[in-house]
Amino acid sequence: MNDQPSAANAPWKQRYEHDLVSTFSTPPLLLDRGEGAWVWDAEGRKYLDFLGGIAVNSLGHAHPALVEAVTRQVSLAAHVSNLFASAPQLELAERLKRLTGAGEAGRVFFANSGTEANEAAFKLARLNRGTGSRTRIIALENAFHGRSMGALALTGKAYMREPFLPMVPGVEHIPATFEALEAAIDASVAAVFIEPLQGEAGVIELPAGFLSKARELTERNGALLILDEVQTGAGRTGDWFGFQHEGITPDAITLAKGMAGGVPIGALVTFGAASQLFHTGQHGTTFGGNPLATAAANAVLGEIERAGLVENARIRGEQLKQLIAGLGSPLVAGTRGRGLLIGIALAQPVSGELVAAARDQGLIINATGPDSIRLAPPLIIGDLELREFRDRFGAALAKVAATTADSEPTTRKVTA
């Protein structure tokens, strides 16, 4: 007789480590359900979710608008393949053209993730060859565009690329300075890829006017300006899309994350002449733009618009920055970002300890580096959630400060 416990009855962490590829560390929690800005683990403990599935859960958890839309659509047709159209697909394409300002000349390609959207954008860049001399693609140092081979080639983090060398050729990474931008862009450049905020790098802001200068230089040299709005889109930064803060018009943007509130989806939206580069058979996807995913995205974007959540992101983001500054912690060196995509600079490399202490206080946040914390709560947060964050984050900061030998920063400055 076999007295060994079955795999299904083993502790969940043991099952995770036994059955999943070890591309991620073993998670600290097994989450069971969510409601609004809150989640519960398998033991029934409640947490305030200020990570939002990494900027995905725009409406929080179990929002009625998303639940109703997905339930209705899955009862009709979840998938029909790209050989057929569906009403939710057409509606979402029209909605994205309106919200982005791509207008009548714009076009939309649907994918399943931000990485896939960036792969489509990479191929779009390759098609912008001109007479054949435009072979270079420019991206920024510290950028993150995904982990598939094309998107990884665009990603400006050498440690991520090195295990998979050689990369797809033709991509050059430059620092986010005006001097580097002007030196790099000439008639040999097919496209420039930029995140309006470098989310995975710690919510790093570009220099003021950087996107405008990139737009000027790309137009002058016939290059495409392609903006990765995977984290910054869908109202996250207090405008519908990050590029709208500078009042420019890109040639293409990529979207995913918050667009469908947790249902996998991605999109490439093209503007103007860039909409004519792709032709039949040059790209495709089986699942992309299926009725279920596009119905979910229509529901989420529609609710963001109906409930004024873009404005809420702007207002609550400013309140959140002020609240963090008001805590007066010696561990906080400043804040950065826009809307509800916020980076907290730490005076010491204690982000791991702070994330764990916050979790002990029933708060979920994210470390993007040893001295950086990322916040990306649902766009629905209000006064109650801000008060709860203040109390829980303040307690976590106090705990870490008390156990840190040298907690005084060299400088302490809070930036907008």
* Residue stretches of the annotated binding site for pyridoxal 5'-phosphate: 114-115, 144, 228-231, 286
Amino acid at position 320, single letter: L
* Residue 33 C-beta-side C-alpha neighbours within 13 Å: 5
* Binding site listing: 114-115, 144, 147, 228-231, 285-286
Edge to edge, what strands does the sheet with 46-49 contain? Answer: 31-35, 38-41, 46-49, 363-364
Tokens, residue 191: 């496209």
Among residues 201, 205, 185, 208, which one has the least CA distance to residue 139? 185
Set 241, 257, 271, 393: catalytic member? 257
Task: Say whether 144 is catalytic.
Answer: yes
Catalytic: which of 97, 109, 122, 228? 228
DSSP 347: S
Q: Look up 241 and say whether it is catalytic.
A: no
Quick check: is 406 catalytic? no
Provide the 3-class DSSP secondary structure of residue 69.
helix
**Distance between CA atoms of 224 and 146, rounded to whole angstroms?**
19
Instruction: Tell me the residue type at 11.
Output: P
Grouping H, G, I as helix, E, B as strand and the rest as coil, residue 141 is: coil
DSSP 8-state secondary structure symbol assigned to residue 263: S
User: What are the pLDDT tens digits along the chain (416 aa)?
Assistant: 455 556 667 899 999 999 999 999 999 999 999 999 999 999 999 999 999 999 999 999 999 999 999 999 999 999 999 999 999 999 999 999 999 999 999 999 999 999 999 999 999 999 999 888 899 999 999 999 999 999 999 999 999 999 999 999 999 999 999 999 999 999 999 999 999 999 999 999 999 999 999 999 999 999 999 999 999 999 999 999 999 999 999 999 999 999 999 999 999 999 999 999 999 999 999 999 999 999 999 999 999 999 999 999 999 999 999 999 999 999 999 999 999 999 999 999 999 999 999 999 999 999 999 999 999 999 999 999 999 999 999 999 999 999 985 545 444 443 33
Per-residue pLDDT tens over the stretch 176-234: 999 999 999 999 999 999 999 999 999 999 999 999 999 999 999 999 999 999 999 99
Question: What tens digit of pLDDT does each residue of 160-170 get?
Answer: 999 999 999 99
Q: Interior CA angle at 114 toward 112 and 117, to 5°?
A: 75
Number of H-type helices and E-type strands within the chain:
13, 17
Alpha carbon distances (Å) from 30 to 44, 56, 343, 408? 10, 18, 26, 35
Dihedral (CA of 309, 311, 315, 320) sign = positive
Which residues define the annotated binding site for N(2)-acetyl-L-ornithine? Answer: 147, 285
